């Protein structure tokens, strides 16, 4: 049985060293705030904060007094970065059995938990051997250290390599109104066909990061919809993603309490079909053919 994730997942990439540099109290407070507003699932990776954010979160989780069963934890392995606390000479990927197992065990220790609800391979490696990967994953599952397994940034053919040996439950990919190619290049169709649930990272795309004719067009349409849906720009962008039939779960990167308190609203309405296409049209800068 798959874990019961919240409709929107909280991404922790920018909570620590790589972003807000929150202290233990503030992270604990933010975890409580997420739970209060219906966000119970937290997305991590071993590398976040230069291999520090998992441990920051783990310390805060212990301090929060929240029961483990009340949250779900996702983390990823496989990227080896050059950072002061690692001995890597060249940034690379490592999917050897030994590294996968050690990385999982280190994440468990950092996050102060006995199990991960979901363990993902962060990025495909040209050198990965699917059979070896699956040996590690099977062992971790048998030991009860991971409840479910998935991929991140894997193409359909790379996913097939893994699926030859074991079922894949999730693939976390970049997807948003401004990065919508997975909808038309077969990636999301493939996932739907094979029972792989997509998760979308950077779900707001570049809408708040860049000021371009594209983001200008998008913002204009969003503003015209806010009143109709009793919503705001971020919520509409998440709702647009969730309208896709592959049932994409957005991984939202905000660490802002006001924005977090509105995330769950994205799951409370169904966007009218023509409105959905109007937003896509605004992103593409042209009508659908």
The residue ranges that bind ligand NAP (CB under 6 A) are 11-14, 43, 152-153, 172, 201-204, 208, 233-234, 251-256, 259
| Distances 23 to 13, 56, 154, 252 between C-alpha atoms, Å | 14, 8, 34, 20
Task: Decide whether 172 or 214 has the Cβ nearer to ligand NAP.
Answer: 172
Catalytic residue positions, numbered: 48
Q: Give the shortest CB-250-to-ligand NAP separation in angstroms.
A: 8
Minimal distance, residue 220 CB to ligand NAP, in Å: 15
Backbone angles phi, psi at 202, to 5 degrees: 50, 55
Of 122 and 163, CB closest to ligand NAP: 122
Tokens representing 37 are 């507003």
Sign of the CA dihedral with 253 first, then 258, 259, and 261 last: positive
What CA–CA distances, in Å, run from 174 to 15, 166, 229, 246, 252?
A: 19, 23, 26, 14, 12
The structure tokens 């894997």 sit at 154
Q: Which two tokens stand for residue 125?
A: 């490696």
CA distance 50 to 35: 26
| Cβ at position 276, least distance to ligand NAP in Å | 19
Considering the complex, state which of residue 30 and residue 134 has its C-beta at the smaller distance from ligand NAP: 30
- Minimum CB separation from ligand NAP for residue 252, in Å? 5
Among 38, 43, 27, 4, smallest CA distance to 251 is for: 43
137, 146 in Cβ contact below 8 A?
Answer: yes
Q: Crossing angle for the helix pair 233-242 and 213-229, nearest 10 degrees?
A: 90
Least Å distance between CB 176 and ligand NAP?
7
Give the shortest CB-65-to-ligand NAP separation in angstroms.
24
Q: Which is nearer to ligand NAP, 8 or 101 (CB)?
A: 8
Nearer to ligand NAP, 147 or 177 (CB): 177
Closer Cβ to ligand NAP, 201 or 240, answer by number:
201
**Which residues, other chains included, contact 265 with Cβ-Cβ below 8 Å and sequence gap of 6+?**
231, 235
Full DSSP string of 6-26: -SSEEE-TTTSTTTT---HHH
The residue sitting closest to ligand NAP, measured at its beta carbon, is: 253
The answer to whether 230 and 190 have CB atoms below 8 angstroms apart is no
CA distance 198 to 237: 16
């Amino acid at each position: 049985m798959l874990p019961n994730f919240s409709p929107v997942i909280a991404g922790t990439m920018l909570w620590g060293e790589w972003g807000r540099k929150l202290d233990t109290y503030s992270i604990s407070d933010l975890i409580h705030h997420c739970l209060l507003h219906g966000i119970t699932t937290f997305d991590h990776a071993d590398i976040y904060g230069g291999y520090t954010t998992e441990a920051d979160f783990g310390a805060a989780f212990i301090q929060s007094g929240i029961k483990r069963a009340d949250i779900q934890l996702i983390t990823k392995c496989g990227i080896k970065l050059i950072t002061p606390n690692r001995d890597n000479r060249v940034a690379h990927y490592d999917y050897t059995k030994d590294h996968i197992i050690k990385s999982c065990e280190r994440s468990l220790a950092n996050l102060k938990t006995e199990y991960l609800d979901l363990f993902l391979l962060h990025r495909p490696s040209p050198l990965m051997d699917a059979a070896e990967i699956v040996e590690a994953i099977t062992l971790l599952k048998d030991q009860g250290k991971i409840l479910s397994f998935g991929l991140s940034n894997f193409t359909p053919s790379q996913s097939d390599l893994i699926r030859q040996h074991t079922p894949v439950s999730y693939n976390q990919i970049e997807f948003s109104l401004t990065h919508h190619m997975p909808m038309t290049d077969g990636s999301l169709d493939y996932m739907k066909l094979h029972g792989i649930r997509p998760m979308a990272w950077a779900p707001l795309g570049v809408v708040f990061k860049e000021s371009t004719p594209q983001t200008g067009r998008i913002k204009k349409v969003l503003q015209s919809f806010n009143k109709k849906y009793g919503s705001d720009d971020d919520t509409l962008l998440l709702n647009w993603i969730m309208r896709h039939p592959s049932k994409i779960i957005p991984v939202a990167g905000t660490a802002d309490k006001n924005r977090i308190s509105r995330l769950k609203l994205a799951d409370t309405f169904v966007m009218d079909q023509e409105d959905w296409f109007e937003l896509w049209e605004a992103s593409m800068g042209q009508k659908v053919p």
